[in-house]
Chain A
Amino acid sequence: MELIVESFFNLDTIREVYPLLLSGLWTTLLLVLACVPLGVLVGLTVAVLYTFRSRWLNVLLVLYVDFMRAFPPLVLLIVIFYGLPFLGLELREFPAAVLALTLNSSGYYGEIFRAGIESIPRGQSEAARSTGLSALQAMLWVVLPQAVRNVVPPLTTNTLEVIKITAVASAVALPELLRSARIAQGLVYNPTPLMMAALTYLVLLWPIVRIVSRFERQMMTPR
């Protein structure tokens, strides 16, 4: 027991390394603030383009979505960070991570929004068009608001996953929360910083986990 407290909850260590971990947490937050809106935006664009029903475009969109869902986010990140410089396209850690996570999450967001748009009866957009709205206006002001409301649960689930996935940015040495904890662990030779990082994620994300599980249960109840 004492060994566990000494190793994982070492007070001296906590005092020593918390500024480092705070700055890591800040970077994680910045990553989330950049990736989530970008992922949503790209996903939404993909879903709206899909409703134009042009055959070739749709084949491309489905390929895009499926590829992005098939690649692990870490693989995208490594290909972007270590592979693109050979083309002369050198991205620093932060933009590389944002690009990789946006590509990855936009696939999922795109699929979710598409399901949402398809859940709205055609009559809605026809009625909107007949009042004189253009196709784009009908989409933006009539279809999308209802579509988004229908997919709040999967959107929440996916956003939780995007937040968790920001930890892979540590693999290209971006000093976010996990990376900072690893650096701190190297300084103090005990795993307390890792525990601190894990607990930080747990405390911040636990409320979202509870919400997601309530959504899941509601959705699986047959109506």
Chain B
Amino acid sequence: MQELIYYYFNWEVFWRYLPDMLGGFVVTVQMAAIIAVAGLWLGLLLAVVRTFRVRPVNWALMVFVDVFRAIPQLVIIVFMYFGLPYVGIRLSAFWAATLSLVFVLAAFAEENFWAGFTSVQRGQWEAARSTGLGFLDALRYVVLPQAIRLAIPPLTNRTIAITKGTSLASVIAVQEIINRASSAQAQAANPTPLMMGAVMYLIIFAPLVRLSRRIEKRYAVWSH
């Protein structure tokens, strides 16, 4: 028992690495916030672009969406960071990881928003247009609110899952939570920083997971 506390909940190690770990916490929260906001907006924007049904544009969109949904996030991050410099595109580790995940979330969000658009019945469009609303106004005031509502439950889960991917940035040495935790662990020869990192993830994500349960119950479109 004493050994357990010495290794995993060591106060001395805890205080020594707390400032450093808090720095990692801030980086993780920053990345997660940028990814959630930019990814969802980009996804919505792409879905709206898709409603115009310009054939070549839609083909390009479908390729984008499928590529970013099929390739593992870590592969995309590694590719952006280690692959792109060979053709002269150099991104900092932070932006390589953040942009990768923004694109991944945008791809998933586009798909969900688009599914939302298509499931708003045609009659809604036609009724809106017949009251004299233009295409854009019908989209904005009639279709979008309903489509977004339909897309919310699948998207909350997806957003949480993808923002959790910020931990993958540690692989390209972004100094977020788990990257700092593993170097502190190696330095101190004590896994307390790993526990601190794990607890930090719980602090960020456990409330979000609970929230997503609530949202799922409220908008129970998913249920069968």
Q: Given the complex, which residues of A lie within 8 Å of B33, measured CB to CB?
A: none
Please, how many residues of chain B have a CB less than 8 angstroms from a CB on the other chain?
Answer: 60
Does B209 contact A197, Cβ atoms closer than 8 Å?
Answer: no
Q: Mark A165-200, 1 if CB is under 8 A from B, else 0.
A: 111101100000010001001000011001101100
In Å, the complex CA distance between A148 and B224 comes to 12
CB proximity of B6 to chain A, nearest CB, Å: 9
Q: Given the complex, which residues of A lie within 8 Å of B82, measured CB to CB?
A: 182, 185, 191, 194
Q: Given the complex, which residues of B lie within 8 Å of A18, measured CB to CB?
A: none
Interface of A is mostly: helix
* Contacting residue for B70 out of A154, A166, A206, A216, CB 8 A: A206
Binds B, one of A44-52, A68-76, A122-130: A68-76
Does B66 contact A209, Cβ atoms closer than 8 Å?
Answer: yes
In Å, the complex CA distance between A209 and B67 comes to 9
In Å, the complex CA distance between A123 and B67 comes to 45
Q: Mark A135-162, 1 if CB is under 8 A from B, else 0.
A: 0000000000000001100100000010
Interface residues of B in 88-131 (CB under 8 A from A): 111-112, 115-116, 118-119
In Å, the complex CA distance between A73 and B168 comes to 9
Q: Given the complex, which residues of A lie within 8 Å of B190, measured CB to CB?
A: 86
Given known pairs A115-B223, A195-B83, the reply for A79 and B198 (CB within 8 Å) is yes
Interface residues of B in 52-109 (CB under 8 A from A): 66-67, 69-76, 78-79, 82-83, 86-87
Q: Given the complex, which residues of B lie within 8 Å of A178, measured CB to CB?
A: 72, 74-75, 78
CB proximity of A63 to chain B, nearest CB, Å: 9
Does B87 contact A161, Cβ atoms closer than 8 Å?
Answer: no
Given contacts A75-B178, A164-B72, A185-B82, 20 further A-B contacts (CB under 8 A): A69-B209, A71-B201, A71-B205, A72-B167, A75-B198, A79-B191, A86-B8, A87-B4, A171-B170, A182-B78, A195-B79, A198-B75, A198-B79, A206-B70, A209-B69, A213-B69, A219-B221, A220-B112, A220-B150, A222-B221
